[in-house]
Structure formats: C-alpha cells, structure tokens
Amino acid sequence: MRGHFGEHFRLSIFGESHGPAIGMVIDGIPAGTPIDEEAIARDMARRAPGSDPTATARKEADRVRIVSGLYQGRATGTPLCGMIENTNTRSGDYVQLQTKMRPGHADYAGQVKYGGFNDPRGGGHFSGRLTAPLVFAGSIARALLAAQGVEIAAHIAAIGGVQDARFDPVHVDAQTLRALRERRFPLLDPAQEVPMREAVEAARMNQDSVGGVVECAATGVRAGIGSPYFGSVESVTSQLLFSVPAVKAVEFGDGVALPGMTGSQANDEMTYENGRVVALTNHNGGITGGITNGMPILLRAAIKPTPSIARAQHTVDLSTGADTTLSITGRHDPCIVPRAVVVIESALAIALCELCMDDAATHAL
C-alpha cells in the first residue's frame, strides 16, 4: 500500500474508521513555523460528522492531538504527527458486511487486494473518515500559503441538481473566500440552501442519497509555480483530489466545456494592468502548460452520492458464493457534499504547498 505523498511537504496517513485513532505525519515544515491549533480546530469542525441534518448521526469531536514536532506553539522541524481519536464507533453495524459486499464501496476491491485481511468496520482505511487527517494537513499547508498571500476557499456548487452561482473566474476576491470559510453551508447564493436541503431530505426519505459538486478557488498564487507534464499543477492537485474517496471527476477552469469552444473562445487574451500581466478571461483556471499564470486557480470536484443507503440492492455474499440483497443499516450521510467542501480546499492547499516548496528548491539549486 502507498500511504504517503510529496517530496517536500511529505505526508503519511494512518488509521481506520473504527480503529483507536486516525492521523497524519507531516514532514518538511520549516522549523519555527507557528502552528495555530485553534485554526486547525476550526477547519476540523467544518468536516466533523454529526453537526448538520445532511450529515451522518455519528458524532466525533475530531480534535487533533499533536504528539510530536511541536514545542511552544512552533514547529520543531522534525516530523509533525497529529492524531485523532475515534470515540463513537458502532462496529456491530458492520458484522454482515464482512462477507456481503456493499455496492459502490471498496469492499470487494479491498478484499481482493488484501486477501481478506483488510478491516471492514466502517470501511476501514477506505473510509471517508480518513479525510479528517487530510484536513489537518491542509490546515498546516493553508497557514504556510497564507504567509505568501494565498487564500483558498470553496463552496457547494451543486447538490442533487440544484445549482449555486459560480465564482467570477477573473475577479475572485479574498474577502469572499474568507466569508465562505465561516459558513456551515457555504454558498455564493444563499437562496439555494433551502432547495438543496430539500433535495437531500427527499433522498433520505426515499432511503437514498445524492451527490454534488464543490467549486474551489485560490487567489494570490504567483505566476510560475508548477512544471510541465509530471509536475503540473493539474496533475499534482488531481492526485490529491482523487485521494478523497467520493471524488469521481475533476475539472480546471471551464474543464469539460472547453472542447465545445473554438480556440478564439477558449484562449485567455492578455493585457497589462498596473504593470502586471493579467488575462481578460480565465477559461484555463489560472494554469497554462501545467504552470500557474497569476490568475485565480479554479477547479471543480464531482462528489458521488453516498454509497451507503438503506434501499435494498443486489450484491454478492462471498461466504456462500451466491447472489443476495443488502440493505445497509447504521449511520450514514444522505449527502456528503457540505462536509467535503473543506476537504477539497485542503487537497488544493496541500498541492500548492508541495508545488511552492518544489519551486523554491529548484531556484535554490
């Protein structure tokens, strides 16, 4: 198994959904970096379960206990380890799932890969619970980027077919991004909250679930970060975004709409503004040739519907070698999109931190 990421901002993730704890070891944080544990707690609270009607009833405080790499509020320069205890598990809900494979989950794939030795409780290491350590790492990365003037935030772009407004691709402002991070249900158009919640509740009452889209933006990222091909901003960021279990599609800028445009429509024409090169449009999402061009970075991540639903579904029982049906009990989100917002932000923050450190190392050679 590969449980690590990065060459400069290096991460190693550990734990299972129903194990004693989950967490992340982060290496590469410069010694003396201030670590704001209150800011970390605020980010963790945005992802924590049990805090909204759209979320699972499982309540976890998601308090990060930093057990190494921190002294008197500053990073020591050695690996920083953050641990999050699992305190509200109900493993009995998963007894039948040791042999009955849940549709849409990694149960069967995990059984095959690990020969049946994987932990099936709550999805084990495959669980969305493991996005909590990603948020911890993202909070650290966000702080490092903020010192360079970078702001990152996201909003719920869609839930169950109900659409929010989109970011202005050219004039995303830091104030809007900061305001979004303060909202439990972050939207650019607050009028869409009621119909979105109605779509989630309708699915829940129908023993079903809904997915959606998260749109994320970063401002203040200078031009020249990233590399063509294997070190592109898109490829590094996508690796992290697709590490989030529910993400099934990612697009940057106008993404899948670009093939329907002509070159003259898709190109971002440039001009000077107060002595700085800027683009008149931002169809490419702030990235050209795999490298940042100084415009806001814009991406959207498609979040699939929660696969754990109470509705009976056709599956297989590996213990009998026969077909069967399965109705999933327990505590599950009818929609994970609101909780995924800070996770998508964290993935982008980690990617940009790694890319910025790589750029600094390259220029130091």
pLDDT in tens, 7-40: 999 999 998 888 889 999 999 999 999 999 999 9
Most confident segment among 51-65, 90-104, 221-235: 221-235
Mean pLDDT of 294-312: 94
- pLDDT, residue 53, reads 67
Question: 4-364 has which CATH code?
Answer: 3.60.150.10
pLDDT value at residue 205: 92
In 3-state terms, what secondary structure has residue 232?
coil
244: confidence class by pLDDT, cuts 50, 70, 90: very high
Is 237 a residue whose pLDDT tops 90? yes
Q: How confident is the model at residue 332 (pLDDT cuts 50, 70, 90)?
A: confident
Q: pLDDT tier at 93 (50, 70, 90 boundaries)? A: low
Q: What is the pLDDT of residue 223?
A: 97
> DSSP secondary-structure letter at 34?
B
- Close Cβ partners of 124 (under 8 Å, ≥ 6 residues apart): 16, 17, 18, 110, 118
pLDDT at 362 over 80: no
pLDDT of residue 330: 67
pLDDT in tens, 31-72: 999 999 999 999 999 998 766 666 655 566 789 999 999 999
More confident residue, 92 or 299: 299
Q: Is the pLDDT of residue 361 over 90?
A: no
Residue 92 pLDDT class (50, 70, 90 cuts): low
CA 204/CA 222 separation, integer angstroms: 44
Q: What is the model's pLDDT at position 84?
A: 95
pLDDT value for 26: 98
pLDDT number for residue 66: 97
Would you put residue 192 in left (φ > 0), alpha (ψ -120 to 50) or beta?
A: alpha
192 close to 199: Cβ distance less than 8 angstroms: no
* DSSP result, 325-349: EE---S---S--HHHHHHHHHHHHH
Q: How far apart are CA 231 and CA 219, in angstroms?
A: 20
Q: What is the mean pLDDT of residues 194-208?
A: 94
Residue 280 confidence class, pLDDT cut points 50, 70, 90: very high
Whole-Å CA distances, 358 to 143, 348, 362 = 17, 15, 6
Strands 64-68 and 247-252: unpaired
In this prediction, residue 104 carries a pLDDT of 86
Among residues of the chain, what percentage have pLDDT more than 70?
A: 93
Domain boundaries along the sequence of the chain: 4-364
Residue 109 pLDDT exceeds 70: yes
Round the average pLDDT of the chain to a whole number and report it.
91
Nearest residue to 33 (alpha-carbon basis) of 186, 181, 144, 167? 144
- Transcribe 93-141 into DSSP letters: GGSGGGTBPPTTSSHHHHHHHHTT-S--GGGGGGSGGGHHHHHHHHHHH
Partners of 66 in the β-ladder:
82
User: Predicted confidence band at 215 (pLDDT cuts at 50, 70, 90)?
Assistant: very high
